[in-house]
Every structure is written in C-alpha cells, then in structure tokens.
Amino acid sequence: MSRKIKINKYQGNTHFTVHVVDKYGVEHHLGFFKHIYSNVIQAEAEKIWANESAPEVDLLSDAIMNCIELDKQRNIKYN
C-alpha cells in the first residue's frame, strides 16, 4: 500500500475532513478543518507515518473465515 493524505469536503461544503493512510492501509482521521494548511497536515501525516506499525494478525478469525469459504465451495449449509 502507499501512503496517502485524503482531503474531502464535509457537510454543506464549509469544512474539509482529512484522513491519512499509512503503508499498511490503516486510515487515521486528523479532523475537520475550515481552512486547509498544508504544512500542518503534512506535519501530522509525517508523525503518523513515523510511528506506524503493522496491524496484528488475528489467526483465529482468518482460520474461521477460511473454513466458511471451504463450506461455501462445498455447498455445506447450516441451520
């Protein structure tokens, strides 16, 4: 994944919502802004990117999802 800064218009087009996406695809909400100051947003994004860590892998949920997929492929249905 790539690092991104997403800036979108918020309700009524009076404010912007800012999200930062790290290299693992985790989205961080920076807040709502009336005016966009790129140096402030860039500094906050760099703080997030400097401290990013890989999300923990939940092996149990992955195993359950794989079992469900296998059941679907074999047309096994539960009541």
pLDDT tens per residue, range 18-60:
999 999 888 999 988 888 888 889 999 999 999 988 888 889 9
pTM to 2 decimal places: 0.63
Q: Where are the alpha helices (DSSP H) in 1-79?
A: 38-50, 59-73
Confidence of residue 78 (pLDDT cuts 50, 70, 90): confident
Confidence of residue 79 (pLDDT cuts 50, 70, 90): low
What are the structural domain ranges in the chain? 4-73
Which neighbouring-strand residues pair with 34? none
Residue 72 has pLDDT above 80, yes or no: yes
What dihedral angle (degrees, nearest 10) is formed by the CA atoms of 13, 16, 20, 21?
A: 0
